[in-house]
């Protein structure tokens, strides 16, 4: 099994309308879904290489505090309590203290120094998970941080999780786009994401996840037809892939990455 400690490995949509979200993403990304534990409160979603996340209703207490539909990511942790303490001492903060999820594991909700939220999870299953192959359809192909504190966040993730910095790309007025890998490698092909300063168009620091699709143009049309909104793209990126950033019909921000067909 893949060592998932310090790496994003599970992605979760909290939304106001799970049934509609499942239909939308099933069409756009091609996910299949299965209810967890035989109920309907949590739907496990799978890409071409197996389960990769879940969709659920925004909890009542979070909704009452103003939470809007949102994609969050879980980082693997061998000891959630110790990691929450260590990350707090490094400049992060605890948004929800460590607690157990029956049948799932122990988790905590954290924020980095700039304010972007992520989760820690130590799964209770002894089987673990294997990471999907690079650019597997329906899985996350890229992780992007819109950072509230660029320098502090880079130090936080590289220092606390062992991520490695790759090339820094000059984006003009938007500043630097710092590539990173989650496995400590520094070559371009090992890069798994990028960090950039929070753009003025984005209201709060946030992690944005790029789901892999086989045809970016077909997926873009499905986003529009399904009631989503394309915010940017399609745009070509280094390596020959194309991306869009979008919101789903309930307002959650997400992104897609894929190749352009010969007709595109």
Structural domains present in the chain: 8-123 (3.10.180.10), 140-258 (3.10.180.10)
Contact assessment for residue 113 and residue 153, using Cβ atoms and an 8 Å cutoff: yes
Task: Report d(CA 27, CA 75) in Å as an integer.
Answer: 27
Which of 117, 112, 144 minimizes the C-alpha distance to 255? 144
State the Rg of the chain over Cα.
18
**Residues 111-131 pLDDT 10s:** 999 999 999 999 876 566 777
**Residues 199-212 pLDDT 10s:** 988 899 999 999 99
Which of 103, 108, 100, 104 minimizes the C-alpha distance to 82? 108
pLDDT for residue 172 is more than 90? no
pLDDT for residue 39 is more than 80? no
Which of 44, 50, 27 minimizes the C-alpha distance to 227? 27
pLDDT for residue 51 is more than 70? yes
Q: Enter the tokens of residue 45.
A: 């979603």
Q: 60-69, 191-200, 201-210, 244-253: lowest mean pLDDT where?
A: 60-69
What does the pLDDT read at residue 125?
67
Helix (H) or strand (E) holding 120: strand 117-123
What does the pLDDT read at residue 264?
47
For 181, half-sphere exposure in the C-beta direction (CA atoms, 13 angstrom radius) is 13
pTM of the prediction? 0.95
**What's the whole-number mean pLDDT along residues 59-73?**
88
What does the pLDDT read at residue 14?
96
What does the pLDDT read at residue 164?
96
């Amino acid at each position: 099994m893949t060592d998932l400690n310090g790496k994003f490995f599970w992605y979760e949509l909290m939304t106001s309308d799970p049934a509609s979200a499942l239909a939308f993403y099933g069409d756009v990304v091609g996910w299949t879904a299965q209810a967890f534990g035989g109920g309907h409160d949590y739907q496990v979603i799978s890409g071409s290489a197996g389960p990769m996340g879940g969709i659920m209703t925004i909890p009542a207490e979070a909704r009452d505090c103003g939470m809007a539909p949102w994609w969050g990511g879980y980082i693997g942790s061998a000891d959630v309590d110790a990691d929450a303490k260590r990350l707090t001492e490094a400049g992060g903060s605890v948004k929800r203290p460590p607690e157990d999820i029956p049948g799932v594991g122990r988790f905590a909700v954290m924020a980095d120094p700039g304010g972007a939220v992520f989760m820690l999870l130590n799964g209770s299953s002894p089987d673990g998970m294997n990471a999907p192959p690079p650019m597997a359809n329906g899985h996350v192909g890229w992780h992007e941080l819109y950072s509230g504190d660029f320098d502090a966040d880079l130090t936080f993730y590289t220092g606390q999780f062992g991520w490695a910095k790759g090339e820094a790309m000059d984006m003009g007025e938007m500043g630097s786009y710092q590539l990173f890998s989650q496995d400590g490698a520094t070559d371009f092909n090992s890069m798994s994401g990028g960090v950039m300063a929070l753009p003025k168009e984005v209201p709060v620091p946030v992690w944005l996840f790029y789901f892999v699709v086989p045809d970016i143009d077909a997926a873009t049309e499905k986003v529009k037809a399904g009631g989503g909104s394309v915010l940017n793209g399609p745009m070509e990126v280094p390596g020959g892939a194309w991306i869009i950033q979008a919101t789903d019909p309930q307002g959650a921000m997400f992104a897609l990455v894929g190749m352009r067909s010969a007709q595109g």
